[in-house]
Amino acid sequence: MQADVSLVCSRVRVEEKMLLDAFDRRGVEVQRHDERDLMLDFHRPRKQALVHSRVVMLRPIAHSRALALSEILGSWGVSTVNSHETIRVTGDKMSTTLMLIREGVPCPEARVAFDGPSALAAAGDLGYPVVFKPVVGSWGRLVARANDVDAAEALIEHRAVLGSPTHSIYYLQEFVDKPGRDIRVFVVGTEPVAAIYRSSDHWVTNTARGAKTEDCPIYAELADLCRRAALAVGGGLLAIDVMESDSGLLVNEINHTMEFRNSVEPTGVDIPGLMVDYVISHLRGSERACRAGD
């Protein structure tokens, strides 16, 4: 017997344990799948357990797997959280920037270039210091600040010689002189539900890099910015990184498989509970669709 809800994850980390507990408290049975064990037969979708779930919560660690699974399940008519489109846009910093700019959401000045000399020109155009990032990545990995043209040249050469194909796109941002912290806002649907300040002596303020967390009140300007940012990328279960700049709040990037273990205690918000309620609301949506199709 297949449960209505499936959770696909690579490992049961603290976050997945918290989510499974929240489903359990609500009396909702969840079938757990490790994506590494899946063998998806494109020709016989109905033979696979996953296709009989009414909603699949996707939490693989690798963005590329969440992207592939959401596409496959979507094409089989299975609802996923997050949706394929939201995963596609938010998993790629370049696509996120495009959507934010299209919807008029403030974000740092950014440039994209495909070759070393053009990337160097883009850095000069933005002005130093400048930040280079892989378009797909997390935990602050390979996010690099070049303070001058010599550093930029060295970065570009290293990427050209050592880089993987994902590094053949140079994504650059202006360096935002933020006040020793950034803001991480948790969004459910399009509604900000909790936020933390992430403070560090280092300019990279990921908690994976040791940043300290404390509660951040969701004031009106922050809430409004995050609602607009979430809408711009299609909404879902999201974590939005916001930077405080001299000219106001800027959306830096948006995450689709966020960690929240360090955020429940400081904010006092049951983040996994709200995430699970959102997934369950999809179940009710699919129930209505089923009845309508009867």
Ligand X SMILES: Nc1ncnc2c1ncn2[C@@H]1O[C@H](COP(=O)(O)OP(=O)(O)O)[C@@H](O)[C@H]1O
Which residues are near ligand X by CB under 6 A?
108, 131, 133, 137-141, 143, 173, 175-176, 178, 182, 203-206, 241, 252-253
- Pick what 80 binds: ligand X, Mg ion, none; C-beta below 5 to 8 Å, kind-dependent: none
The residue sitting closest to ligand X, measured at its beta carbon, is 205
- Pick what 59 binds: ligand X, Mg ion, none; C-beta below 5 to 8 Å, kind-dependent: none
Instruction: Pick between residue 108 and residue 273 the one whose CB is nearest to ligand X.
Output: 108
* Residue 241 in the binding site for Mg ion (CB under 5 A): yes
Minimal distance, residue 203 CB to ligand X, in Å: 5
Minimal distance, residue 104 CB to Mg ion, in Å: 22
- Pick what 60 binds: Mg ion, ligand X, none; C-beta below 5 to 8 Å, kind-dependent: none
* Residue 92 in the binding site for Mg ion (CB under 5 A): no
Instruction: Pick between residue 55 and residue 211 the one whose CB is nearest to Mg ion.
Output: 211
Minimal distance, residue 23 CB to ligand X, in Å: 27
Instruction: Pick between residue 36 and residue 141 the one whose CB is nearest to ligand X.
Output: 141
Instruction: Pick between residue 23 and residue 171 the one whose CB is nearest to ligand X.
Output: 171
The residue sitting closest to Mg ion, measured at its beta carbon, is 241
Instruction: Pick between residue 6 and residue 252 the one whose CB is nearest to Mg ion.
Output: 252
Minimal distance, residue 234 CB to ligand X, in Å: 18
Residue type, 277: D
The residues, ordered by sequence, that sit 6+ positions from 4 with a Cβ below 8 Å of its Cβ are 28, 29, 53, 54, 55, 283
Instruction: Pick between residue 9 and residue 251 the one whose CB is nearest to ligand X.
Output: 251
- Round to whole Å and give the CA distance between 124 and 29: 55
Q: Are strands 110-113 and 236-245 parallel, antiparallel or unpaired?
A: unpaired
Minimal distance, residue 177 CB to ligand X, in Å: 7
- Pick what 182 binds: Mg ion, ligand X, none; C-beta below 5 to 8 Å, kind-dependent: ligand X
Minimal distance, residue 241 CB to Mg ion, in Å: 4
Task: Tokens for 168, please give them.
Answer: 């053949």
Minimal distance, residue 233 CB to ligand X, in Å: 14
φ/ψ of 140, rounded to 5, equals 75, 10
Q: Give the interface segment with Mg ion, choosing from 22-30, 66-74, 175-183, 233-241 (CB under 5 A).
A: 233-241
Instruction: Pick between residue 245 and residue 286 the one whose CB is nearest to Mg ion.
Output: 245
DSSP readout, the chain? ---SEEEEESS--HHHHHHHHHHHHTT--EEEE-GGG----TT-GGGSGGGG-SEEEEE-SSHHHHHHHHHHHHHTT-EEES-HHHHHHHTSHHHHHHHHHHTT-----EEEESSHHHHHHHHHHH-SSEEEE-SS--TTTT-EEE-SHHHHHHHHHHHHHH--GGGGSEEEEEPP--SSEEEEEEEEETEEEEEEEEE-SSS---GGGT-EEEE----HHHHHHHHHHHHHTT-EEEEEEEEEETTEEEEEEEESS---TTTHHHH---HHHHHHHHHHHHHHHHHHHHHHH-
- Pick what 143 binds: ligand X, Mg ion, none; C-beta below 5 to 8 Å, kind-dependent: ligand X
Assess contact for 157 and 144: CB atoms under 8 A. no
Interacting residue ranges for Mg ion, rule: CB under 5 A: 241
